[in-house]
Amino acid sequence: MRNTHPLMLALLVAFALAGCGGGTAQQPTATPESRPTSTPRPTSTPRPTSTPRPTAVPTATPAPTIATGSSSGQLQPVVIDRLVTFQHPNGLFSIDVPTGWNVDDSSTDAAALYLWTDEAENALIIVSVSESAEQLTQNELQERLTSFVESFSGEQDFSMDPPEQLRSGGVQIIWSYTAQASGGVQARLLANSFIYQNGDKVSLLTFGIPNEQFDDLKDSLNDILNSYEVDPSVPLSADSTVNRTVYDFSRDDGNWTVEDTASIRAAIVNGTYDITLRDTDIYYLTAPDFDSTTDLEVSADVLIVGDSRAGVAVRYRVGTPSDTRDYYTCWIDGNNSYGCFVSVNDRWTTLQEKTSASAIKPGQVNRVALRAEGNRITFSVNGVELQTFTDRRVTNGQPALYLENFSTEAGAVYDNVVITTPK
């Protein structure tokens, strides 16, 4: 269908650029304490998924009749003979696409953006991958996808089904409008759009097919949809200055501690790293098999379970022979509070007293990040910088995960741990 895809590309770029947030850093304090005080927090049972994927197949509703504005030509058939795998140059994503279709790369620094069209440009496949440090809820994904689809509301005979929230965590919308196909034929374009998030990557996929040909191509479209894979460890644009290591816990490739004792249970289960502290009023640190370094950032999806505080740590090191621990850590709890401290020889000094922040989503998966650069330590939640402070007490160490509980058994679920270090 002629003259449809430039508009779609422009809207997808606008979609990829939307949703940026910011925050205000607060000044640190420096009060020694033995451990943070306990406050009651709600229990949260949902679990993050390691690889959310759309499960619905392309659907043929709405299904209006074709409007024909010219009798001089017939709508050319869309051909999908064989599928071949397209691999993004940096390994960001892969998808099976029909052989012989034309591909247009309109990627920017903000989004990887690819469009495939058949020879007559009567059908299209669009893949857009952008980044969001914030973990979006399914409702927020639905709002983004709805906004994108409604951008076409001015097109002729536009119609849209209500959004469908998929069990995988994604969202699907079926929509259509009348467009001009090749040969001057007016025909109905039926589109299926999907959105979902994997780590910090947000994917939007759209399939557009002439409505009258949809049933014949549905199986092939389903194969294309199910072939799509994204690697959240790959940055949108190649950055030659940093190394990124990702642990999505699809397997134990980081030599993470796995144990089941009377005090602690740590296990990799269904693509997540689950830690439960069975003894009360204790804390726990666990680090992957990673070299000690000075400048690094560690981020993770964190879900609080029970009355606990959980987060990430940088420059974690265990002293010898004293077996004491040095590190910086920042945590969140099950409400909307966070705090930070530094440990030197197991003596804690508060860097940020417990305080609330609207960026933290109570009872949901939050993405937390802690960065150490020289003597500057920065803490962010869901892409919003909450705290920056200067401290020189711990100069190097490993990335780690941090957890503490209080009066009851409690823990946290971790996923998509990303460690970034300079090359």
- What is the pLDDT at residue 123? 87
User: What angle separates helix 5-17 from helix 138-150, to the nearest 10 degrees?
Assistant: 140
Q: Kindly report whether the global pTM for this prediction surpasses the value 0.85.
A: no
Give the 3-state secondary structure of residue 10. helix
- Check residue 92 and report its DSSP letter: S
> What's the pLDDT tens digit per position in 144-167?
999 989 888 888 899 999 999 998
Please determine, for residue 237, whether its predicted confidence score (pLDDT) is greater than 90. Answer: no
Residue ranges of the chain assigned to CATH 3.40.1000.10: 5-17+51-230
Q: Which helix (H) or strand (E) holds 217?
A: helix 214-227
Q: How far is it, in rounded angstroms, from Cα 284 to Cα 410?
A: 12
Q: How many helices (H) and strands (E) does the chain have?
A: 3, 27
DSSP codes joined into one string, 98-162? ETT-EEEE---SSEEEEEEE-TTS--EEEEEEEE-SS---HHHHHHHHHHHHHTTTTSTT-EEPP
Residue ranges of the chain assigned to CATH 2.60.120.560: 32-49+248-422
Q: What CATH number matches the domain at 32-49+248-422, 3.40.50.620, 3.90.180.10, 2.60.120.560, 3.90.1640.30?
A: 2.60.120.560
Q: How far is it, in rounded angstroms, from Cα 233 to Cα 419?
A: 10
DSSP codes joined into one string, 149-195? HHTTTTSTT-EEPPPEE-TTS-EEEEEEEEEE-GGG-EEEEEEEEEE
- What is the pLDDT at residue 121? 82
Residue type, 16: A
Q: pLDDT-based confidence at 56, cuts 50/70/90? A: low
390-411 b/e with 16+ CB inside 10 Å = b? ebeebebbbbbbbbbbbeeebb
> What's the pLDDT tens digit per position in 281-328?
999 999 998 999 999 999 998 999 999 999 999 999 998 777 899 999
Residue type, 208: G
Average pLDDT value for residue range 52-56: 50
Highest mean pLDDT: which of 40-54, 69-83, 193-207? 193-207
Average pLDDT value for residue range 106-118: 85
Q: Which tokens belong to 380? A: 């962010």
Residue scoring higher pLDDT (54 or 230): 230
The CATH number of the structural domain formed by 5-17+51-230 is 3.40.1000.10
